[in-house]
Amino acid sequence: MANEQVVKGNRTLFPIILIFLHAAAPAFVVQGGAEPLTCADRSVSASAVRTSEDVRAFVQCAYEFVQEVGFEQARRAFHEDERWRSGPIYFVVDEVTPISHQATTFVYPPDPSREGAPWGLLIDGFGNDWFKEQHRIVSTFGEGWMYYSFTNPETGRDEPKFTYLKSLFWEGTPAAIGAGVYPRDIPAACRREEVNARGLEADPSPEKLQEFVRCAALELESQGHFGTVALSADPRWRSNSIYVFGLDTYGNTLFTGHPYSHGNGLSESELDADFNAALQGRDLVSVADTFGESFLYYRAHNPATGLPQRKRAFVKRVVIHSLPVLVGAGVYMDCPPAGCGTGSGTPEGATAAACEAAREMLDDLPAMRVNYGFYTDFNPMSYSVASAVHQPTGYEPDLVAALETFSKGKLSFNTLGIGNPFSGIWLKAAQEPYDMVGGGITALPERTRDENGRQVIRFGVAHVSFRQSLLVRSESVINRHADLTSEHHVGVLRGTTGEKRLLELTGIIDAEGIIRSGTQVQLAGGDVLIAGEPESGAALRIAAGTGSVAIATRVRLTPAGDDRPEVLYFNSDSEQLGGLLEGEVDALARGELGNRVT
């Protein structure tokens, strides 16, 4: 049913496959022993089913309905009555038997031809036997939850679903009656093409807003601090008047996609008085933090119109590396019928206003020449050729060149190529002769500090979204990170986000970067340190560009056990691509942009 996404990236010189990162899918989870519930306690119809509590009450009412009217009338009602069926909400009644492929389906409204005969072996997208697991839950607990994937009759796609089952006898045969929902705000269901800023613009309902924010919160939870860049800059999360923001529990803005903001880093709050948020002393941030989710109502400047307007926002509390974050987004209430992203003022008007403000700022500055250091080995972001090492090519150099043109002579850039190693090049911005440095550098707070912990640099506004991925040869059987074992070797560059993400996903480091106990760390000089042993000193740590000084020259990681790959370190992008093609490694952990170009 559910399939892994494998994107073939064959090019003339590099027969490879690109494998995207995605959240791992859960198998079945059983919850039994709930307190007794009757339909008199709570009655709900199919069209009103939204939450797990709704589902359980819905199933209880159907169970009592069967006892009250009998099997034939119940079967007919489950097919025809809107109380019991609405869109993807319907009832199923199956025989409960340990012989799963012989279980008879008694009621299945999406396809009545299935009724009255065994369905056969039914394996869901996570590899679980539906009827076998149903038998185990119902025969052992009497009722409970199943979490699985199944075809949604509304979309025709295999989607995650949770269903509540309850034991009953159907015409004398042991059976289970159940109903479930296809949630839209879980990792596997938050599809980019379905949950995005443009979709919220088209349908700014409270339900769509909640769905959008909950999916944004999942993005931040799964990506950690890396997720703030995507949520601030990725077009999926920002469009005209729609953008995502993140607040700390004091109301400070940790990140925002507001086009007039400074991107990541502490800045004025979304709820600050400068946004005309007249909250009259009410601590709405604490309310949202306490309840976990909350709607907020205030006035703010609409970036699409430049005008203060009423705004309805929704925020959800998540915890990232022990830091509580309120992830939110909102819709403006005083928009024309066509939406806040239309009309003479937007988006072109807003862009023109921003450009005019930038020109006014440049007019007030003296002419200046800036020493711009760029990384020379990251195609397509920032690179050069050996014969012209200080002549940059790529997306970021093009942005800098465009800025120079836009300034009309106020800004000029002296380009200086920076070669490998990549790790630590961001700190060169605090060193002579550089004034600024670029090269596809992910903005992370820990990268702003030197070895003494002093903040010596700061990042500008994020301008592109990165995803990490695996690059493998075309004949490889590796389809996802979970396929990597001790038989595999994966290549990385030291100090990159690709290294850190690989180590996290394979369990070689934890969320704080601490290396798994028993892992052997081979250094350039041949010495080997073993994580967790006293002679290795303090806990060994790896992060994106920082970590334990003792392992700064690491060339190989060999984890303990047989369920994690060996990691080999290369000194340049071309070197690691050669290692993949020659079979020295089975995969490379790199950014998606570089992998696609390769």
Neighbours of 414 (CB within 10 A): 13
| ∠ CA 156-158-161, rounded to 5° | 115
Architecture of domain 365-448: 3-Layer(aba) Sandwich (3.40)
Strand partners, 472: 17, 587
- Per-domain residue ranges of the chain: 46-187, 193-349, 365-448, 473-597
User: Count of CB atoms within 10 A of residue 495's CB?
Assistant: 23
Cα separations (Å) of 292 from 53, 231, 240, 250, 564?
A: 18, 20, 27, 15, 36
- Interstrand relation of 489-493 and 587-591 (parallel, antiparallel or unpaired): parallel
| pTM listed for this prediction | 0.44
Work out the burial of residue 309: count CB atoms within 10 Å of its CB; fewer than 13 is exposed, 13-18 middle, 19 or more buried: middle
Is the pLDDT reported for residue 11 higher than 70? Answer: no
Q: Give yes or no for residue 51 having a pLDDT over 80.
A: no
CB of 241 within 8 A of CB of 201?
Answer: yes
Q: What is the pLDDT of residue 7?
A: 28
Give the Å distances, CA to CA, from 407 to 234, 263, 414, 443: 26, 21, 15, 25
SS (H, E, C) 315-361: EEEEEECCEEEEEEEEEECCCCCCCCCCCCCCCHHHHHHHHHHHHHH
pLDDT of residue 369: 93
Confidence of residue 283 (pLDDT cuts 50, 70, 90): low
Alpha carbons 77 and 429: distance in angstroms, whole number: 71
State the pLDDT at residue 442.
Answer: 81
**Percent of the chain clearing pLDDT 70 (strictly above):** 81
Please state, as a whole number, how many other Cβ atoms lie within 10 Å of the Cβ of residue 546: 19
Residue pair 181/157 in contact by the 8 Å Cβ criterion: no
pLDDT at 559: 92
The pLDDT assigned to 16 comes to 40
Confidence of residue 340 (pLDDT cuts 50, 70, 90): low
Structure tokens at 548: 């334990």
Asked if the model's pLDDT at residue 3 lies above 90, the reply is no
**239 φ, ψ to 5°?**
-160, 115
User: For residue 492, is pLDDT > 50?
Assistant: yes
Mean pLDDT of all residues in 150-177? 88
- In this structure, the number of other CB atoms found within 10 A of the CB of residue 541 comes to 17
Residue type for 531, please? Answer: A
- Type of residue numbered 174: P
Of 66-70, 396-400, 535-539, minimum mean pLDDT range: 535-539
Pairing of strands 566-570, 554-558: antiparallel
Collapsed DSSP state (helix, strand, coil) of residue 299: strand
Residue 254, SS3? strand
Lowest mean pLDDT among 168-182, 336-350, 382-396: 336-350
Whether 75 shows a pLDDT value over 90: the answer reads yes
Q: Helices (H) and strands (E) in the chain — how many of each?
A: 12, 25
pLDDT band at 258 (very low <50, low <70, confident <90, very high): confident
Q: What is the mean pLDDT of residues 550-578?
A: 90
Q: Distance between CA 71 and CA 77 in Å, rounded?
A: 10
Q: Which residues contact 114 (CB under 8 A, 6 or more apart)?
A: 105, 108
pLDDT: is 261 or 98 the higher one? 98
Span 205-234, pLDDT tens digits: 888 898 899 999 988 888 887 888 889 889
Strands (E), 77-139: 91-95, 104-107, 117-118
**Comparison of pLDDT for 330 and 186, the residue scoring more:** 330
How does pLDDT run across 128-157, given as a tens digit for each residue? 788 998 998 888 888 998 888 888 887 788
Same fold, 46-187 and 193-349: yes
Give the C-alpha distances (Å, rounded to integers) separating 569 from 249, 540, 542.
Answer: 40, 17, 13
Q: In angstroms, how far apart are the furthest CA atoms of the chain?
A: 89
Least confident span in 195-204, 407-416, 466-475, 534-543: 534-543
User: Cβ(438)–Cβ(429) under 8 Å?
Assistant: no
Q: What's the pLDDT at 364?
A: 75
- pLDDT (tens digit per residue) in 423-459: 888 899 999 999 999 888 887 777 888 888 788 888 8
Mean pLDDT over the full length of the chain: 80
- Return the HEC string of 180-222: EECCCCCHHHCCCCCCCHHHHHHCCCHHHHHHHHHHHHHHHHH
Cα–chain center distance at 448: 24
The percentage of residues in the chain with a pLDDT greater than 90, rounded to a whole number, is: 30
Read off the pLDDT band of 41 (50, 70, 90): low
**What tokens appear for 133 in the block?**
């697991």
Q: Which two tokens stand for residue 377?
A: 């080995």
User: Would you say residue 598 has pLDDT above 50?
Assistant: yes
Mean pLDDT of 296-313: 79
Residue 347 pLDDT > 60? no
Q: Which residue has the higher pLDDT, 480 or 197?
A: 197
CATH of domain 46-187: 3.30.450.20
**Rounded average pLDDT over 174-186:** 83
Q: Residue 334 has what pLDDT?
A: 67
Is 193-349 in CATH node 3.50.50.60?
Answer: no
- Residue identified by tokens 């809107």 is 82
pLDDT category, 280, cuts 50, 70, 90? very low
- The pLDDT assigned to 346 comes to 43
